[in-house]
Homo-oligomer: A and B are copies of this chain.
């Protein structure tokens, strides 16, 4: 006769709640990329839990590459502005095994109305504008990558071709230092396509040549999509690598 109990508000362990609070602080920019967060003991006092519980929360955030632990020094907010992390999301590498040194050339940087597809992927509100960037990356003087990049015009207000050309180094370090936007993860979809006339021109190869098409959506804290890339790789002298676990 009794009313069956509703499915209990699903159990959430303490360390998950701590994790959420740390995430909130990251998202609120309370601790900035490259800086250290409070020690485990301090956080334990702040959240009124034991050090072990804070530890487990940080462990998971470190496993997700949001934080970086350094024994003896502290725990740091992950940043793309460090040598080891500069090309964390770059999966292309030369067949020869040598080190990649890519040279950037930006062709365009324009504000425009997004296509419906771009607007949807970036979760824009109706009327929001976007910035489209075209760039070519070269290795040893040969153009290897041609890509179009879309960004929200409000988040990246004032971005110009000149600012891009003045920057040396990876895009994601640029976003971080100039627009307080740290990239946390990305999703890629890959296809093979034949080069059309325009691509053939940009990449200096014959029309019809097979190219790797890589579509990427990159996210910042809170799973917010912030950047779209539509890239074509010349894979004659290099390849895309992937680990399956």
Tell me whether A245 is interfacial, beta carbon within 8 Å.
Answer: yes
Tell me whether A115 is interfacial, beta carbon within 8 Å.
Answer: no
Check A189–B239 contact: CB distance below 8 A: yes
Check B185–A242 contact: CB distance below 8 A: no
Check B190–A239 contact: CB distance below 8 A: yes
**Do A244 and B187 contact each other (CB < 8 Å), given the known contacts A208-B208, A210-B210?**
yes
Tell me whether A241 is interfacial, beta carbon within 8 Å.
Answer: yes
A residues near B, CB below 8 A? Answer: 63-65, 88-89, 91, 185-194, 208-213, 216, 233, 235-236, 239-245
**CA gap between A208 and B189 in the complex, in Å:** 22
Query: Please, could you name 19 A-B residue pairs with CB atoms under 8 Å apart, sorted by A?
Result: A64-B245, A65-B245, A185-B244, A186-B243, A187-B241, A187-B242, A188-B242, A188-B244, A189-B240, A190-B239, A191-B212, A191-B236, A191-B239, A191-B240, A192-B192, A193-B210, A194-B210, A210-B211, A242-B242
**Do A91 and B189 contact each other (CB < 8 Å), given the known contacts A63-B63, A194-B208, A210-B194?**
no
Residues of chain B contacted by A243 (CB below 8 angstroms): 185-188
